[in-house]
A = this chain, B = another copy of it.
Amino acid sequence: MIKTYVICSGGLDSVTLAYKIAKSDSHELAGLISFDYGQRHKKELDFATHAAKSLGVSHEIIDISAVGTRLCGSALTDAKNIDVPDGHYAQETMKATIVPNRNAIMLTIAYGIAAANNADVVATAVHGGDHFIYPDCRPGFIKAFEEMQNHALEDYADIALYVPFLNKTKADIVAEGARLNVPFSETWSCYKGSDIHCGCCGTCVERREAFDLAGVDDPTVYDNLTYWLEAVKKGAA
């Protein structure tokens, strides 16, 4: 069995990935790894903890908040000065949600943990919808990252990066999650972290749209039920 760690934020994509690995015949799910990078709210981390419990595996939350607070200038970490933009990811305004190098930092740490625990694979739920604005989620980055790691752990460990959603859409992930019976209502996407999903931020709009495109019932409770349609139209324009 391929001993695999999954980087899990508690969101729809990474929880679906955790279920995919857990139910796979070839992978052994070694545990979930989450990061506290000083994000505005920690709500999503509770959903990652819940997923780990449901799947009966270990869950590590790595505190890198000292790093996150230094990577200022992103709406996801800089609560004081920058608002989370509403709208569709395709819009230019979504660049405010870039935390520079975040994915590269989380992946190198996950690789270190995997190496220290003799694992074979680190799995991440990066998907096609991320490519547009986040450079460290693009296929070229993923390939270069794995090459870098082959050098960094030469003679010491041999760990592959598994990115099964790299060329899939979020709608594909919803469709796969439905087949795997992922409890979607036990995942969190909203950047704002209120009691329920806001329905207006980039990740809420993307979530709602993905269920619609996949033709799967969306069990999520949104504060604003209709904003997503308007935002999708604007994003496509």
Contacts and interface: CB of A to CB of B under 8 A. Distances in A.
Contact of A144 (B62, B98, B105, B147): B147
Contacts of A136: 151-153
Contacts of A138: 151, 154
B105 A157 contact: no
Contacts of A101: 108-109, 111-112, 115, 149, 152-153
Chain A contact surface mostly = helix
A62 B66 contact: yes
Interface string A72-113: 110000000000000000000000001111111100110111
A202 to B, nearest CB: 17
- In the complex, the count of this chain's copies comes to 2
Interface string A44-83: 0000000000000000101110110011110000000000
What is the size category of the interface that chain A forms with chain B?
A: 35 or more
Nearest to A106: B108
A152 B104 contact: yes
A9 to B, nearest CB: 17
A62 B148 CA distance: 23
A184 to B, nearest CB: 30
B98 A156 contact: yes
Contacts of A99: 112
Given A135-B156, A141-B148, 10 more contacts: A67-B109, A71-B116, A100-B111, A100-B156, A101-B115, A105-B108, A136-B151, A138-B151, A141-B151, A144-B148
Interface of A: 60, 62-64, 66-67, 70-73, 98-105, 108-109, 111-113, 115-116, 135-136, 138, 140-141, 144-145, 147-157
What are the 3 tightest A-B residue pairs by CB atom distance, in nearest-first order? A101-B112, A141-B151, A100-B115
